[in-house]
Structure 1
Amino acid sequence: MKNLLLMAGMALFFASCSDDSESPSNNETPSANKVLMLKVDFETNVFEGGKELTFEDADGFTITADYNPPGDFGDVTLMYEEANDTIFSGGIVWLGLGEMTYPESLADDSTFATITNALPLPATEDFEIVEYDEYAYYPDEIDYQSIWGAVDNLQLLKDYRESNPDANIRLFLYTPSVGEGNPAEWDWFVIVKN
């Protein structure tokens, strides 16, 4: 009887776990509505981790933003408009450092399975900048090749590109420090939809 109660308790514990876990994938069915976010360091173009998010079914994939400019403290939230749900949220501090608040954490880069043959660089037209504000900072010249080169060997990215090859690849530059912000604290987020 004790074993049965223990097993039931463990089943309830695992069932209550959030999809905001430390693994890159939350192991939903392949047809689930998912978005993959991959974090790449702004200065070094090194892959630092990522997250696979699952949403209610929705037609289309539009990213909208709620941006509060930092007088001293501000923030940016990216929404998956059709699913009416959050993709990203983080603080922005003038002469300071904000932090990402959603997802709460990202899976470490070492947890992502890799492939032997890197994915080819998509055409520049296949990339779309996430314009969260008319004054949002993006470099005049974006090094798409280096950003893509940081993630082009990831199995999950290959799966996403194969399941939705015509989808744009969204690029979001998160700048948690502005004013005399430190680019060493900034990160690209490569966002793809399955």
Structure 2
Amino acid sequence: MTRPAETASGAPPRARVFFALWPTAAIARRLHKEGERVHTATGGRRMRRDTLHLTLAFIGDIPRERLDDLRAAADKVAFPPFTLQLDRIAGWRHNHIVWVGATEVPAELESLVSQLNAALAAGGFPVERRKFAAHVTLLRNARGELAASELDPSIVWPVGEFVLVESDLRPEGAQYTVVATWPCVGGARD
């Protein structure tokens, strides 16, 4: 049996990962523009356009050898294409985050998250127990209050895939790399 490469500390290499919906360039630009717009009122640290996403399941730090187990869990998920309408912008005072989200979460998205969590749990991964909150974080460390309001016009996001992302934490901010993609039913696999 071959052992995986070890880090300088002698521990197996690890990966910090999560599953997400990843926006197209056009949707990321619009999300980024909304972050820019509210930044003047709330302050805080804007998320870079290339890091904007909607988290489906945060896995966290795992041994790199378990990445294949994550892929196998995600392979069990089947979902039709759907449209996500991001129509609300608000702030969470408790964690100083400004976000955009959906007033009504599509049933297809709820099903996708439910299937993914069930497959992850069956694979021995921890899953979030709180109710899923479909949102995209625009700002962190926001200082001002931002009351919930309608996003006009709303952001219409056609969803046809979900991804597994690796997060590399650096002093200048997290760097994200999409490591695998799962298309909707009838879509082509990367």
Tell me the TM-score normalised to structure 2 length.
0.31
